[in-house]
Amino acid sequence: ETGVTQTPRHLVMGMTNKKSLKCEQHLGHNAMYWYKQSAKKPLELMFVYSLEERVENNSVPSRFSPECPNSSHLFLHLHTLQPEDSALYLCASSQDGVSNQPQHFGDGTRLSIL
């Protein structure tokens, strides 16, 4: 039990579909993150939210749209994805979004784009 839960664990979608990934943290943290993990590549930071406000958007294409309705929940809305978007999408949280705190990760959503 990591304290960070991601659903679904696996998702297969076509390029024209719209889907959403969900992340929920039960740790009382104030910061949440989306990462993309592709095979044999470093983990890529996509978005950072602190106290429900987006503080980082690392040049992510607009077909990825994050939403943070409260400090416990984070969504990643997907629309018109490309085959290269197939990857493991990891959500993480930390106490306050500063670098001297550990991040707690969920087990990810394995996304496959047909």
Partner 1 sequence: SQQGEEDPQALSIQEGENATMNCSYKTSINNLQWYRQNSGRGLVHLILIRSNEREKHSGRLRVTLDTSKKSSSLLITASRAADTASYFCATDLHNNNDMRFGAGTRLTVKP
> Which residue in the set 15, 43, 51, 114 belongs to the binding site for partner 1 (CB under 8 A)?
43
Per CB under 8 A, 97 contacts partner 1: yes
Which listed range, 2-10, 11-19, 65-73, 74-82, lies at the site for partner 1 (CB under 8 A)? 2-10
Which DSSP helix (H) or strand (E) runs through 33?
strand 31-37
Nearer to partner 1, 15 or 43 (CB): 43
SS (H, E, C) 41-62: CCCEEEEEEECCEEEEECCCCC
Token pair, residue 78, equals: 């997907």
CB 96 within 8 A of CB 50: yes
- Tell me the per-residue interface mask from 56 to 75 with partner 1, x by CB under 8 A, - otherwise: x-------------------
Q: What CA–CA distance (Å, rounded) separates 81 from 29?
A: 30
* Residues making contact with partner 1 (CB under 8 A): 2, 4, 6, 35, 40-43, 45, 48, 56, 90, 92, 97-108
